Structure 1
Amino acid sequence: MEGLLPRLPRGDAVTDGVALLGVRHHGPGSARGVRAALDRYAPQIVLIEGPPEADAVVGLAAEPGMRPPVALLAHVVDEPSRAGFWPFADFSPEWEAIRWATARGVPVRFIDLPAAHSLLMRDDSEDGEGAAAEDESDDGPGERVRIDPLAVLAEAAGHDDPERWWEDAVEHRRRGEHADPADDGETADDTDDALAAFGAVAEAMGALREEYGDGGHPQDAVREAHMRLRIRDARRGHERVAVVCGAWHVPALAATTGVTADRALLKGLPKAKVEITWVPWTHRRLSRAGGYGAGIASPGWYRHLFTAPDRPVARWMTKVAGLLREEDLPVSSAHVIEAVRLADTLAAMRGRPLAGLGETTDAIRAVMCDGSDVPMELIRDRLVVGDVLGEVPEGAPAVPLARDLAREQRRLRLKPEALEKELELDLRKETDAGRSRLLHRLRLLGIGWGEPARSRAGTGTFRETWRLRWEPELAVRVAEAGVWGTTVSSAATARAEDEAVRATALAEVTGLAERCLLAELPDALPTVMRVLADRAALDADVGHLAQALPALVRSVRYGDVRGTDAAALREVAEGLAERICVGLPPACAGLDTEGAAEMRGHVHGVQEAVVLLADEGLRARWAGVLRSLAARDRGMPGLLRGTAARLLLDDGRLEAGEVARLMGLALSAGTPPQEAAAWTEGFLAGGGMLLVHDARLLALVDDWLSAVPAAAFDDVLPLLRRTFGEFDAGVRRTVGELVRRGPAAGSPEAAAEGAPGFAAGLDEARADAVLPTVRLLLGHDRPTGGTAT
């Protein structure tokens, strides 16, 4: 890394047979420097900053099925939520050291503080992503001060942008646009100077620690003491030892500290039994924006710099052009050529050795995106950061639940991916039904791989739409869920039974019953049904019953679709509906405004549930309850009376004349304006087309509104604005036009002749002309002749 710190004297990276290679985590320039230094020094053992428990699984890094980015995952056996990640990308210096050593049969050991200690010492406020953020830890004299060593070094070199300085000093060092692909960007001089360059890094970190102190992180002293002890152990059997660690630790590891003092620091640390394995990781989680303390701003760009054999800028522009073309944006070869030229010109004007991310971004925005930042967001998300998801070999240690999940994913051809995708399922197909079962079971276990979404293919109950995105943290969720069982099915069943027993509200149990049916967990249903029956028998609150009924009825419906026996659920649902019919009228009396609004939501939910149950006797009883609500004029909130009248009208159980009578009573002069406005809100909440097609109702509303006293108008206006604001723009415009025409347009006499804009009678010939198109849209048959437009 020649040129990194030209103003500082070079130090020696090798002392007493130990080469201390201080790196920037996930820095491709550091990775190339480590590879060159290892080739030059040829150590007999390689020590890496990381949990020593990983020594048992480090050999898997050489397996063919291992593809970065990956991470070591360690968790406490009895408490899987206490977990830590140690991520590696293919451009991480630590990963490069592991691959170098395993390819040559050189032993690899991890020397950081064991996870058995560090997982118990970590504060709850930490992000829990493994290795401490060496790039942001420090201590100042007198008080703890957080610094960014990269920013301090950049400032010392006269740069105001740490990332830009890092690119110039390390990433682009001797990387010419016309480098020979065969040498992978390295020269003989690079190899000769590799160890001396790490000596310069050690000198720089030593100066920083003298200025800001040694205790940047609470665990730094303990971790460094453990690393020094492991280095001493390695020196006893090997003449040449290489240590790859965060650059911040190099001065502490080179210090001459006594063994007794180091062991004293480690005495009495808390300890737990831990398990460790490899898990897939993503570039997005390597990003600093993803919350990872030692993360980088542009993992996709860094990976490109590390893997591009030559002409990195031209190759990057080609990638960008391909992405934009996939999004149907017009990008040609000429755009790519001009963008490369502009990036090179900007780099020369800014005095940079090679166009960096800033120059390429400016060139892309100007040439390919016409100055727009919208495509740039796509480029940043897909390329600069990226959605690369790593892979681990099948032989990696895993809890039994994780192995069963992997088998199910292979069987159902449902591969985890880092990029969010939408999955349309047809439950009539066996594979899609199996995918639905798996996703619902994982949701029961708290493993949020998929989230249900609104289907764009149709509204049938045999369709489901999911949004899938695999996040590395789900590996921890799988480990946590392993306490419930060894398979996804058994674990979901045990978790559902436990949730049912611990549920405190009736709606929780009914919702759980619905989820059990969706996940097809017949073994859990007996326990859920027993708890449901007990809760329903003891709960006398009509609001609770009404809140619980919709989920229960959906369970009955989905049970029929999926071929599940839902007879017991139907019996409970019908019993709840009967109790609601009896208790709803007295429960609605005397409610205040907030209570009436909440109850209106329950009434709508019960209406939908009763319709889905398809029991004519129950529908008739429910209609009777709604009639009693609509007809009461004392003690019943106007919002509920209007809602009941509208539901009856929509269900065809109330004639237009009766509706007009109820509205006339509600909007009469003897009714307080606020109560009348509440009735109007409840009645018109389902849509305003009634006022367009029924002139009598429009005239009643118009006459009432015109007669509202000025003193009460300010109190009524918010309710009316909320009511009419829910109408479609076209409906509001038509109502306004009818009112503008005056009373004659909305009078009962005009209504008898037909509403304005509509004929007095039906033109059967014109109506027949649209029937072929309607049949075609509904899929009943095909038009027999002519073309409908």
Structure 2
Amino acid sequence: MTGAGVETRAAVGTGGALLLGVRHHGPGSARAVRAALDEARPDAVLVEGPPEADALVHLAADEGMRPPVALLAHVVDEPGRSAFWPLAEFSPEWVAIRWAVERGVPVRFIDLPAAHSLARADGADGADEKLGEREESEGPGRPGEEPGECEEPAAGGAGEDAVRIDPIAVLAETAGYDDPERWWEDVVEHREAGGDAFAPFEAVSDAMEALREVYGDAGHGRDLVREAHMRLQLRAAQKEFGPDRVAVVCGAWHVPALRRKTTVAADRALLKGLPKVKAEMTWVPWTHRRLSRASGYGAGIASPGWYGHLFAAADRPVERWMTKVAGLLRDEDRLVSSAHVIEAVRLADTLAAMRGRPLAGLSETTDAVRAVMCEGSDVPLALVHDRLVVGDVLGEVPESAPAVPLQRDLTRAQRRLRLKPEALEREVELDLRKETDAARSTLLHRLRLLGVDWGRPARSRGSTGTFRETWRLRWEPELSVRVAEAGVWGTTVLGAATGKASADAVGAAGLSDVTALAERCLLAELPEALPVVMRVLADRAALDADVGHLAQALPALVRSLRYGDVRGTDTGALGEVALGLAERVFVGLPGACVGLDTDAALEMRGHVDAVHQAVGLLGEFRAGPAEEPPADPGGDGTRGIRARWSSVLRVLARREAVAGVVRGRCVRLLLDGGELADGEAARLMGLALSRGSEPAEGAAWIEGFVGGGPGGGSGGGMLLVHDERLLGLVDDWLSGVSDDAFIDVLPLLRRTFSAYEPGVRRTLGELVRRGTRGAGPVVGGGGVPGFAEQIDAARADAVVPTVRLLLGMAQPQPQPPPQPQPPAQPRGHGHQQPEADAGTDTENGDLVGVAG
């Protein structure tokens, strides 16, 4: 090296090597690394990272490579054991790699090989953490913390139970800062360009040296093994390129260890006997959101979007940031003008000056945006944080990067169907009647079956037709691992989904799992897997005698028939299985509804609702040859599936041994389907709520009858609104319940009526308040108690003292008895009528006087 590098090498290097200690994902460190490399011009650049990536370094210069990206390492035979090493545009390691490849300078990775790290990812010391997916957060990004590192066991240092120290937090506290991020911004990120290119690294190196003298390995005992490997690689590079021709870019925490004088034998002893696996490595796209600390990634940063802006905006960063914020808010139809931008910049600069900062940082700009552009509201500010401070940038990887065959097939399908992976969640409406949309739906369903949840189904707006699907798409970096894992099932998406579905069918735990899998096979259009699933389904259905299991399985089969019709799939065999399953449910259901406790009865009510909906969709299929049923509601001379189901509902509705909530629901379903004669529902309700029935059973019957029909929660309420006879029966029953029993049934009634919409509850209250008109006689004859044309004054006056007591009002003083009045003397011609008493009807029937 020449120039300033020779003069400062002793401060930042060991044996002539230039050691550039950085903070991972730090834009200030990245600018400083670029300046130092331009000044020193080394013959080789060593970077903290897995050596298996040496063969992939050249791809960093490819036009198709756009950060953020990550190195992905996984075990060959077990892709789920994987690790990521993320790199953003503002990562010092990425800047060093780009500087080297653009100038033809060799790049070597010197950290512990992924083959060793992945071997310990299961935790030879008992840890079960995956590489790069630790749950703990170690402060604002420890300078020495390697993205993707696993929890290595201690080797000659502090154990895993030692106190873990955050070096940046210690340095910030020493400098009098309560926020480590703010200290790092002031000292590094806001440092003016120019001057000595090596000074920042010299200062950081001295600080780390002092910290390691006090804290040792600071609870990071695994670093001792990694640092031993780094020293060995550094010695080899110095021997090859010269002792003063090598530059090392690593976490600042490791610089003191690389400067430490140790023997080769001692370092090799630390590495001896490490477990090893066969690993593969490639580049994968990454996102700013996954770089954020909120994602659970230990080496993450809180504001990747802000750091990216600081790195890209070499001049006037605050002004350019405020312009970005204004553009975003304008896109959201908020009134933000250029005057807002100017005022926000002034306020941010003023806040920085008041707080003694060299430049307005994220906290100052955020406060200024809140006050000026968001009018003090945190709602639009949350949008700014999500879209700009964190950001939704998704990197790109060139086609020449190594990838499993399944990933390549998926990439081709994404291009063919024009479904580009994006980090920002977006909603896609698919019309299955269109060829392209149908193919998109098929691809997304196949990926979901493989566990690659790129898209998640959502409720369609404005249409309930089965030809329309709505998906929410968002590509996460972890999906690359899921694709690699799914590669064991096949080399194409179709082949892998077929193999996975067949294996899942054989290993399914229950009948409902197989029926759900059959539905997914139809949605994913897997003709080769469907026969295997149907064979397993038929076998399981024949052996399973649990009516609940059969009832759970039937709706999924019927939905599969519907989707098959939409997609043009032959579902004849599936329809026959569904009909056979329905017949078994019809036979076993009456016996299964007897002797149930409360929880089991509620579960059975759900099964009845599900079967009812399924039968409605299955009605076009016939249960068998034409037979004359005992009662033929259909009137077509055949024993149709709907007629069979109606007969089952009638049996359940009239059998006293059946749980009340199930009986009530069966009556409700028959009433909604027009299967009950006029007044039959009132008769059955009267029997269920008779004096001889247990109050709890009556309350359960009411819950089943009016507790929300299959179509929604207010159906039962509207039924009571329009049928005053049923409302009168409920009121009569509730009025006659004893005090002790009322306490028991109240929770059931509250659960039933609280599900109604406010308007329905208000209408029912008005009906009860004024009473029903013309209810007429009901079960047993007589009127409906509790309802009348006029208020019963005597009963109303009886509750007045209690109401006054509850309201804290004084009780009225008793009035003296009225004095007798002399008889009125006649005046004029004839006699005057006496004054009307309160409540006396006049000729027009109205009250004309009030007693004094």
2:769 aligned residue (730, 740, 755) = 740
**1:209-241 per-position Cα deviation (integer Å, ceiling 9, x unaligned):** 111112632421111111100001101121310
Where 1:671 maps in the other structure, the secondary structure is coil
Residue aligning to 1:440 = 445
For the 8 Å contact 2:17–2:247, the answer to whether it is kept is: yes
Q: Does 1:145 align with 2:163?
A: yes
- In structure 2, the CA distance between the partners of 1:80 and 1:568, relative to structure 1 (3 Å rule), is same
Residue aligning to 1:680 = 702
Distance 2:104 2:10 in 1: 30
Percent identical among aligned pairs is: 72
Code of the residue aligned with 2:537 in structure 1: it is L
- After TM superposition, give the deviation of residue 545 of structure 1 in Å: 0.4
Distance 1:516 1:547 in 2: 18
Q: Does 1:641 align with 2:641?
A: no
Where 1:676 maps in the other structure, the secondary structure is helix
Distance 1:660 1:550 in 2: 31
- After TM superposition, give the deviation of residue 72 of structure 1 in Å: 0.1
- After TM superposition, give the deviation of residue 127 of structure 1 in Å: 5.1
Residue aligning to 1:658 = 680
Residue aligning to 2:562 = 557
- In structure 2, the CA distance between the partners of 1:746 and 1:150, relative to structure 1 (3 Å rule), is farther
Residue aligning to 1:427 = 432
Where 1:227 maps in the other structure, the secondary structure is helix
- In structure 2, the CA distance between the partners of 1:143 and 1:212, relative to structure 1 (3 Å rule), is farther
Paired residues for 1:530-679 under 5 Å: 530-615=535-620, 617-633=640-656, 635-679=657-701
- In structure 2, the CA distance between the partners of 1:142 and 1:27, relative to structure 1 (3 Å rule), is closer
Distance 1:128 1:566 in 2: 45
Residue aligning to 2:84 = 85
Residue aligning to 1:416 = 421
Distance 2:42 2:572 in 1: 72
Residue aligning to 2:826 = none
Distance 2:405 2:101 in 1: 28
Residue aligning to 1:729 = 758
Distance 1:265 1:646 in 2: 75
Distance 1:480 1:744 in 2: 69
Q: Does 1:346 align with 2:364?
A: no
For the 8 Å contact 2:160–2:221, the answer to whether it is kept is: no
Residue aligning to 2:46 = 47
Residue aligning to 1:709 = 738
- In structure 2, the CA distance between the partners of 1:674 and 1:540, relative to structure 1 (3 Å rule), is same
- After TM superposition, give the deviation of residue 155 of structure 1 in Å: 1.3
Q: Does 1:285 align with 2:290?
A: yes
Distance 1:143 1:577 in 2: 60
Residue aligning to 1:171 = 189
- In structure 2, the CA distance between the partners of 1:370 and 1:748, relative to structure 1 (3 Å rule), is farther
Distance 1:724 1:14 in 2: 77
**1:649-689 per-position Cα deviation (integer Å, ceiling 9, x unaligned):** 11111123111110111111111111111000000022211
Q: Does 1:16 align with 2:21?
A: no
For the 8 Å contact 2:164–2:218, the answer to whether it is kept is: no
Q: Does 1:491 align with 2:496?
A: yes
Where 1:656 maps in the other structure, the secondary structure is coil
Distance 2:566 2:378 in 1: 47
5+ residue gaps in structure 2?
Answer: 1-7, 146-153, 621-633, 635-639, 710-714, 789-852
Residue aligning to 1:770 = none
Where 1:437 maps in the other structure, the secondary structure is helix
Distance 1:272 1:116 in 2: 5
Where 1:194 maps in the other structure, the secondary structure is coil
* Rg larger for: 2
- After TM superposition, give the deviation of residue 486 of structure 1 in Å: 0.1
TM-score (norm 2): 0.84
Residue aligning to 2:818 = none
Distance 1:608 1:316 in 2: 56
Code of the residue aligned with 1:692 in structure 2: it is V
- After TM superposition, give the deviation of residue 147 of structure 1 in Å: 1.1
Higher helix residue share: 1
Distance 1:142 1:430 in 2: 57
**1:50-72 per-position Cα deviation (integer Å, ceiling 9, x unaligned):** 00000011100000000000000
- In structure 2, the CA distance between the partners of 1:748 and 1:726, relative to structure 1 (3 Å rule), is farther
Residue aligning to 1:355 = 360
Distance 2:495 2:543 in 1: 30
Code of the residue aligned with 2:405 in structure 1: it is P
Residue aligning to 1:783 = none
2:727 aligned residue (680, 691, 698) = 698
Paired residues for 1:315-330 under 5 Å: 315-330=320-335
Paired residues for 1:3-82 under 5 Å: 12-82=11-81
For the 8 Å contact 1:300–1:385, the answer to whether it is kept is: yes
Where 2:197 maps in the other structure, the secondary structure is helix
- After TM superposition, give the deviation of residue 141 of structure 1 in Å: 10
- After TM superposition, give the deviation of residue 722 of structure 1 in Å: 0.8
For the 8 Å contact 2:159–2:221, the answer to whether it is kept is: no
For the 8 Å contact 2:13–2:259, the answer to whether it is kept is: no
Paired residues for 1:260-339 under 5 Å: 260-339=265-344
- In structure 2, the CA distance between the partners of 1:134 and 1:269, relative to structure 1 (3 Å rule), is farther
Distance 1:610 1:358 in 2: 61
Distance 1:335 1:663 in 2: 68
For the 8 Å contact 1:136–1:148, the answer to whether it is kept is: no
Where 1:448 maps in the other structure, the secondary structure is coil
Q: Which moved more, 1:445-454 or 1:131-140?
A: 131-140
Residue aligning to 1:227 = 230
Q: Does 1:404 align with 2:409?
A: yes
For the 8 Å contact 1:402–1:478, the answer to whether it is kept is: yes
Where 1:12 maps in the other structure, the secondary structure is helix
**1:706-755 per-position Cα deviation (integer Å, ceiling 9, x unaligned):** 11111200011111111111111111111110110135465559999xx9
Distance 2:90 2:234 in 1: 25
5+ residue gaps in structure 1?
Answer: 1-8, 175-185, 757-789
Q: Does 1:213 align with 2:236?
A: no
**1:545-566 per-position Cα deviation (integer Å, ceiling 9, x unaligned):** 0010000110111111100111
Distance 1:502 1:312 in 2: 58
Distance 1:328 1:142 in 2: 52
Distance 2:10 2:110 in 1: 24
**1:133-175 per-position Cα deviation (integer Å, ceiling 9, x unaligned):** 744779879961111111111111121111111111111112x
- After TM superposition, give the deviation of residue 295 of structure 1 in Å: 1.1
- After TM superposition, give the deviation of residue 12 of structure 1 in Å: 0.8
Distance 1:306 1:751 in 2: 84
Query: Which has the higher relative contact order, 1 or 2, with Cα contacts under 8 A spaced 6 or more apart?
Result: 1
Paired residues for 1:464-483 under 5 Å: 464-483=469-488
Distance 2:595 2:300 in 1: 59
For the 8 Å contact 1:645–1:683, the answer to whether it is kept is: yes
Paired residues for 1:163-202 under 5 Å: 163-174=181-192, 186-187=193-194, 189=195, 193-202=196-205
Distance 1:553 1:748 in 2: 44
Residue aligning to 1:762 = none
Residue aligning to 1:759 = none
Residue aligning to 2:174 = 156
Distance 2:512 2:567 in 1: 23
Code of the residue aligned with 1:742 in structure 2: it is G
For the 8 Å contact 2:67–2:285, the answer to whether it is kept is: yes
- In structure 2, the CA distance between the partners of 1:486 and 1:281, relative to structure 1 (3 Å rule), is same
For the 8 Å contact 1:70–1:281, the answer to whether it is kept is: yes
- After TM superposition, give the deviation of residue 431 of structure 1 in Å: 0.8
